[in-house]
Structure 1
Amino acid sequence: MTILYYDCFSGISGDMNLGAMVDVGVDFEYLTEMLNKLSVKNEFYLHRSRKQKMGIEGTKIDVILNKENHEHTNHSHEAKHTHHHSHEAKHTHHHSHEAEHTHHHSHEAEHTHNNNNADDHHHKHQHRNLESIKKIINDAPYNKNIKTLSINMFMEVAKAEAKVHGKTIEEIHFHEVGAVDSIVDIIGAAICFDYLNVDKIISSSVELGGGFVKCAHGVIPVPAPATVEILKNTPVTLGKVNFETTTPTGAAILKANVNEFTSKLNFNIIKTGYGLGTKDFDIPNMLRVYIATEIEEEIGKSSTVKEENNDFDIEEQIIIEVNIDDMNPELYEAIEEKLFDNGALDVYKTNILMKKNRPAIKLTVLTTVELLNKIENILFMETTTLGIREYPVKKKMLKRTFEKIQTKFGEVDIKKGLLNGKVVKIKPEYETCKKLAKINNVSILDIYSEVSTLIK
């Protein structure tokens, strides 16, 4: 089982998350290309840079707003700019986020700022309600997964804002969260999750910061009310620094996508990524993420255990089968999609002949012990079957390592299979090749051919 783990020792904001995702392996050009499919594409662009915080290097992502017409050559905007946002409607939140929601002009906050030099800049963010944001998402040519993830994150913010301000979800107008930079943060997060395609997302407890911030409503405590509302029933820590470290957008990214909050870790780390903030704290202002594979100690409850000779990985899994001869064939696609969305490792169909020579389909699902009940319930609820068969299987696999190689088309993920410590198979990852083929407007065979030349 592949895991994306969030280590939120210094909180999380939307652009810190984008930086961490790119740093851990999401292709920046692909992310940019996908975001440019939005109807608001002419209002922003992404800038990527490599920086350090307390000697630790990571990726800094800035969302530069074209409509601001800022004539700065240094897009990372380390200089501090003060802003007073003149909103026409009542603000939902205005937080002076010291964390890093400093998109286009190194803002100390994700939301409106009332700094000492408030007259330096005056600009308005477009206010959008939930329906207008859903339209932006649904009008983009994204797959269902990206759209669903994006809307789920916005719903977390909408519910929190509605609760804090005593309004309905329909009445809430997103202000900074409805502005282009925050739309990019949330939809960008969905694109990254879809790209990584991990089996499970886990997070540590979330540092929220402390102190007070001045905003358009006056002085409010850190964490901001919306952040607290979003992270209800979620483990948090407070007070490592006297600034706001977790923004509502960052909180929504975690709440809508994390499967488990825990500090009890049991996995092999494959890769680490760092997304940097702008301000300097007494602790490193960054979000750390891991790509990892899970290790379990007991066979039957485990996803992966090791053979004594250390040459192979063993996985204890479950095969579930159902024979179906009375279901509309159009339904299989939706059922298979739901099975995969809920953690099925594989789903396939076999043509069979049942009693009285009735043609039928044997639907087979491969899953883990942990997900057995969930998969069974889907089969009973979504298909016409009245019964299922299940039996344990043992999957024996070559040891695998993962690397990246640089081609003329871009970076390609490579998987190597080892037997007795020697590489016996090398294979490029299909999804990476497919994305590069699309970006470069070439045949996927061209990508495979280039990779084959380099790995011989």
Structure 2
Amino acid sequence: MTKTLYIDPFGGAAGDMLLGALLDVGVAHERLMEVLAGLRMPGWRLDAVRDRRHGFAGTRVEVHVEGETHPARRLSDVEALLGHAELPERVRGRALAAFRRLFEAEAEVHGVPLEKAHLHELAAVDAVIDIVGTCAAVELLQVDRVVCGAVPVGSGTVATAHGILPVPPPAVAFLLRGVPIASHAADGEMTTPTGATLVTTLAERFGTLPEGTLLGLGVGLGTRSFAGLPNILRVFLMEEAPAPRLAGRPLVLVEATIDDITGETLGVLLDNLRRAGALDAWCLPGTGRKGRPLVELRAVAEPSAVDAVAAAVFAEGASLGVRLVTCVRPELGRRIVEVATPFGPIPVKVAAFAETIVSAKPEHAACLAAAHLAGVSLAAVVDAARAAGPRIGSPWEA
């Protein structure tokens, strides 16, 4: 089973909202504070309270900082802070990746070297707590992967340290490149740079809620008021069943384009390819230059048989060259089961997928021989073998 954290930023994405949702889904506040104490950074306090906003009950977090302002930090300052902190390595690694992503966005949109990029209000103590706290909370949940839904950005303008900026602000737009944007948009900033940084750092993919068993639901409450839209972020803790895995083996596809061969010679060539070791061989009709008819010859073989199969093509003078394409062929689990019928025992080829029988096919040669011997139709023998054989949809017994 795979334990998945699904982030649903329907009403926005901000660091405090994501951290609140993770606490709401079950991360113990005391355990989180133990991890954050490893920052050895004085002058702050993290409060988490259950509250109600826009008709939703959830958790609201707030970082209280001693003093009104904090100096802007460069990436080197943050890296030094986290490098000397006593943090779990995965928490430190994710937090460093998040801050680097954020600084790179700021440097890009402001046209300055990375080492000179400032985060201003974004690098205040509360941003450090939001980012490191969120990374720590994800680690405490012991999830295997993180998936995120489409991200809403909002509309209009927002006031920042750089003045009035359009929504989404340049840094948010840069951070969300390649990320699906939600179609709904409230008037105002719905996703902050910190929120965009966290979802793009943590999520391995963006999409819809995965199929599975719901283990828990958390709601993080934001501080903004949007007309007709709740400023909330939800997280779903899911247990996903593993996808069925198909057995497979490496093979080689031998291909040749032939425009000068008779049908009789082509039939001989296909037989020779199978005798040379091809697992299967076939041809497809096509049209070449100047409207000339041609055939695409293809044979699939084990790597050890490729030389012999290619030699069979050359031996008939069918082509001046062949193409070798490596591939993997997933295969269903299968076996031969002998079933009793009024016409004698008939072998049935049974195949299964995801521990369920999906195919049960009586062997043609055996059915034909039994039909001739009993003086009945082939269809009668096939029907009898199917009736006596394993049922499609029944469990596969190894």
TM-score normalised over the length of structure 1: 0.52
Is 1:214–1:220's contact at 8 Å kept on the other side of the alignment? yes
2:238 to 254, 275, 292: 292
Counterpart residue identity of residue 185, structure 2 = K
Aligned to 1:80: none
1:54 matched to 2:26? The reply is no
Partner of 2:4: 3
**Alpha-carbon distance between aligned partners in 1 of 2:180 and 2:170, rounded to the nearest angstrom:** 16
Q: Tell me what 1:353 maps to.
A: none
Residues 309-332 of structure 1 deviation map (CA, whole Å, 9 limit, x = unaligned): xxxxxxx9xxxxxxxxxxxxxxxx
Corresponding residue SS for 1:235: coil
| Aligned residue among 138, 142, 167 for 1:222 | 167
5+ residue gaps, structure 2: 248-353, 356-398
Letter paired with 2:17: M
- The superposition leaves residues 16-61 of structure 1 with CA deviations (integer Å, 9 ceiling, x where unpaired) of 1110010011110111222122132x21101111111232210000
Partner of 1:63: 63
Q: Distance in 1 between matches of 2:225 and 2:56?
A: 13
The answer (yes or no) to whether the contact 1:44–1:67 under 8 Å persists in 2 is no
Q: Which amino acid aligns with 1:20?
A: A
CA deviations on 1:391-436 (whole Å, 9 max, x unpaired) are xxx99xxxxxxxxxxxxxxxxxxxxxxxxxxxxxxxxxxxxxxxxx
Aligned residues: 248
- Deviation track 1:326-364 (CA, whole Å, cap 9, x = no partner) reads xxxxxxxxxxxxxxxxxxxxxxxxxxxxxxxxxxxxxxx
- What code does the residue aligned with 2:165 have? I
Q: Please say which of residues 45-54 and 212-221 is displaced more in the overlay.
A: 212-221
Residues 273-320 of structure 1, C-alpha deviations (whole Å, 9 max, x = no match): 000012232211110000001136x6326xxxxxxxxxxxxxx9xxxx
Residue number in structure 2 paired with 1:43: 43
TM-score (normalizing by structure 2): 0.59
Which residue of the partner structure matches residue 31 of structure 2?
30
Give 2:126's aligned residue: 181
One-letter code of the match for 1:232? R
* Partner secondary structure for residue 189 of structure 2: coil
Against the structure 1 CA distance between its residues 46 and 295, is the aligned structure 2 distance closer, same or farther, given a 3 Å change threshold?
Answer: same
The answer to whether the 8 Å contact 1:210/1:239 transfers is: no
* Match status 1:276 vs 2:277: no
Q: Give distance in 1, aligned partners of 2:87 and 2:18.
A: 20
1:52-105 deviations in Å (ceiling 9; x for gaps): 12322100000011223xxxxxxxxxxxxxxxxxxxxxxxxxxxxxxxxxxxxx
Q: Measure the CA separation in 1 of the matches of 2:179 and 2:131.
A: 20
Structure 1: distance between partners of 2:171 and 2:43? 26
**Distance (Å, rounded) in 2 between the aligned partners of 1:189 and 1:279:** 20
Offset of residue 239 of structure 1 = 4.8
On the 8 A contact 2:4/2:145 being kept in 1, the answer is yes
Deviation at 1:132? 1.1
For 2:78 and 2:187, how far apart are their aligned partners in 1?
Answer: 33
- 1:212 deviates by 1.2
Q: How does 1:252-331 map to 2 (within 5 A)?
A: 252-263=197-208, 265-281=210-226, 282-295=228-241, 299-300=244-245
RMSD: 2.1
Q: Does 1:203 align with 2:148?
A: yes
One-letter code aligned to 1:62: E
Amino acid at match of 1:189: T
Paired-residue identity, %: 34
Moved more, 222-231 or 188-197: 188-197
Specify which of 147, 151, 155 is matched with residue 100 of structure 2: 155
Q: Deviations over 1:158-179 (max 9, x none)?
A: 1100100111211112212221
- Deviation track 1:373-392 (CA, whole Å, cap 9, x = no partner) reads xxxxxxxxxxxxxxxxxxxx
> Which whole-Å CA distance do the structure 1 matches of 2:17 and 2:33 have between them?
16
Aligned-partner SS, 2:67: helix
The structure with the larger Rg is 2
CA change 1:183–1:63 in 2 (3 A) is same
What is the CA deviation profile of residues 89-141 of structure 1, one whole-angstrom value per residue up to 9, with x for unaligned ones?
xxxxxxxxxxxxxxxxxxxxxxxxxxxxxxxxxxx321211111011111111
Deviation at 1:238?
5.1
* In 2: Cα distance, 1:14 partner to 1:252 partner: 9
Please say if 1:194 is aligned against 2:139: yes
Q: Matched residues in 1 for 2:92 and 2:74: separation?
A: 17
Deviation at 1:216, TM superposition (A): 4.5
Shift of 1:240: 2.4
- Which residue in 1 is equivalent to 2:18? 17
What residue identity is the alignment partner of 2:189? E
* Aligned mates of 1:196, 1:271 — CA distance in 2: 11
Answer yes or no: is the 8 Å Cα contact 1:209–1:238 preserved in 2.
no
Residue 166 of structure 1 aligns with which residue? 111
2 CA distance for matches of 1:180 and 1:215? 17
Are the structure 2 counterparts of residues 191 and 229 from structure 1 closer, same or farther at C-alpha, using a change threshold of 3 Å? same
- Matched residues in 1 for 2:161 and 2:29: separation? 35
Give the residue type in structure 2 aligned to 1:240: A
Structure whose residues are more often helix by fraction? 2
CA–CA separation in structure 1 for the residues paired with 2:73 and 2:162: 20
Pair 279,174 (structure 1): closer, same or farther in 2 beyond 3 Å = closer
> How big is the shift at 1:264?
5.7
Given that residues 127 and 175 in structure 1 are in contact (C-alpha distance below 8 angstroms), is that contact kept between their aligned partners in structure 2?
yes
Aligned position for 2:193: 248
- Determine the structure 2 residue equivalent to 1:404: none
3-state secondary structure, aligned to 2:79: helix
Q: Which amino acid aligns with 1:285?
A: N
Query: Letter of the aligned partner of 1:11 in structure 2?
Result: G
